[in-house]
Amino acid sequence: MKPAEKGWLKQYLEFRKDLLRDLSSGVKNSAHPEQSLYRVIQPTGLMYGQSIESVDLNGSERWAPKDRMKILLAESLISSSLLFHDKPIKDANELSEVIMKTIENIGNFYNHVFPELATPTKTLFGRKKTPLELAEKILDKRIEYSIENSANFWIQFFHNSLLFLDIFIFGQWIHTNADRIVADFFKYEREELRFSVVKVMAAAAHANTTVEPEEQKLLEYFLQSAGLSSERKKEALRIFEQGIDIEEINLPTNNSWILKKYFLEIAILTIWSDKKVENNEQEFLKKLCKYMNFSDDDLENSLMAIEGFVLEHWNELDYLQNKQDFIQVSEHFIRRLSRITDNNKSRLVKEVLDSQELMQLLKKSKSNELTEDEKARMQKLLIGVLKTIPTFVIISLPQRFLTLPILLKILPSNFFNEVHSQKPN
């Protein structure tokens, strides 16, 4: 599969057919489709403008960042359609029909809502393009239009994180009849949502009363890629200079969970840009959560999701190349994780007792040194145990970061003594 060459979308669908079948068959990671979509998208980095997630295919490690991002965008759009499909898909033929309808919708969506990407539906010789051909060409143009090939995390973040709004709006689009009035509404919503991101950034940047140089750069990066009208750009500059109250942002409160999650994590990353979160910035995040009807746990989960993401991909994110930063972020993450395992101790004990293989490894580890293969297996099994905690149904755990020593560190005190004391004779 070569995403830089013609025909890549058809090859992608063939390669990912098992994943798409799992999504369509109700094998979801949470009760709500939006939480399932977050679970699919968040670990890839797409919400943060990154193309971190590698596709398990020979040669994919050599793909250009824009090709990885193109694959992630295609996968996220299709995943959104499957997760929000309104009835069970019975067999492979029906799944194929739904996917091809989604591919057709992708072409229609971008041609109606993104006029700058408008692509003719016929070739120069008058032949009507297939939905696959049209969608492939439009996705090529969308990535070329948006992606910034920079090694700087923040430039990529604010050039490319708006791709998430494509996925969100597309999820609404597929449930409508595409006419001019509907298209005008979605074009309006697209600009309003992008402008809301500016407001969130401005409010977060002013949270500690001082706009840091790093935060000032964020607005510059964002305005280069947001596609706002000249009037909106002027207003954005004014808002960023003067600040804005949360109540003036006009954020969603009672509708989309994933859109609110996106705005919250935009705010967190804006505050993170100078690599520290001060007390008044923490208070701002709590106030923002309250305004969006999010709980303290929702804030904690987003902080943990972002920390887990950057720890998992530390080597790929150049702006994080600092030993002290790594130690600080990892300590915060480990503390958050430890609180969750403490609160779920009984559940974890039960899950370990139910795993005969894990119990055997634990028993052996008490008297003998485990082999490297056994350590790797024990690590995988312990991560599987952690995934039974409700929090990690939504948040993806950073599996490379969670080495066996760290896993043993974050488990509750005397955890294994309790496991052995409860083990039936």
Instruction: Report pLDDT digits (tens) over 92-135.
Output: 888 888 889 999 999 999 999 988 888 988 888 888 999 999 99
Residue 138 neighbours by CB under 8 Å, 6+ apart: 106, 107, 110, 111, 117, 119
Please report which confidence band the pLDDT of residue 172 belongs to, taking 50, 70 and 90 as the band edges. confident
Sign of the C-alpha dihedral computed for residues 185, 96, 32 and 303 taken in this order = negative
Q: Residue 154 CA to chain centroid, in angstroms?
A: 16
> 3-class DSSP state for residue 122?
strand
Q: CA nearest 319: which of 111, 153, 175?
A: 153
Please check whether residues 250 and 356 belong to one and the same domain.
no
Most confident of 2-6, 23-27, 319-323: 2-6
The residue to which tokens 């409860």 are assigned: 422
Asked whether the beta carbons of 163 and 146 are under 8 A apart, the reply is yes
Please check whether residues 130 and 18 belong to one and the same domain.
yes
Please report which confidence band the pLDDT of residue 25 belongs to, taking 50, 70 and 90 as the band edges. low
Give the type of residue at 364: K
Q: What is the pLDDT of residue 324?
A: 56
Share of the chain above pLDDT 70, in %: 84
Domain assignment present for residue 230? The answer is: yes
Asked whether the beta carbons of 49 and 159 are under 8 A apart, the reply is yes
Domain assignment present for residue 317? The answer is: no
Please check whether residues 284 and 250 belong to one and the same domain.
yes
Residue 144 neighbours by CB under 8 Å, 6+ apart: 66
Q: Residue 295 CA to chain centroid, in angstroms?
A: 20
Q: What is the pLDDT of residue 28?
A: 45
Please check whether residues 56 and 160 belong to one and the same domain.
yes
For the chain, what is the domain count? 3
Please report which confidence band the pLDDT of residue 29 belongs to, taking 50, 70 and 90 as the band edges. very low
CA–CA separation, 283 vs 279, rounded Å?
6
pTM over 0.85: no
Q: What is the DSSP string of 210-279?
A: S--HHHHHHHHHHHHHS---HHHHHHHHHHHHH---GGGS---SSS-HHHHHHHHHHHHHHHHTTT---H
Please check whether residues 185 and 125 belong to one and the same domain.
no
Q: Which domain holds residue 64?
A: 1-171
Asked whether the beta carbons of 171 and 80 are under 8 A apart, the reply is yes
Please check whether residues 70 and 204 belong to one and the same domain.
no
CA–CA separation, 129 vs 123, rounded Å?
7
Boundary residue ending a domain (294, 311, 326): 294
Task: Tell me which of 91-100, 155-164, 167-176, 314-323 is least confident.
Answer: 314-323
What is the average per-residue pLDDT within 386-404?
86
In this predicted model, what pLDDT tens digit does every residue of 370-379 receive, in sequence order? 899 999 999 9
Please check whether residues 35 and 119 belong to one and the same domain.
yes
* 59 φψ region: left (φ > 0), alpha (ψ -120 to 50), beta (else): left
Please check whether residues 92 and 208 belong to one and the same domain.
no
In this predicted model, what pLDDT tens digit does every residue of 59-91 receive, in sequence order? 667 777 788 888 889 989 998 888 887 777 777
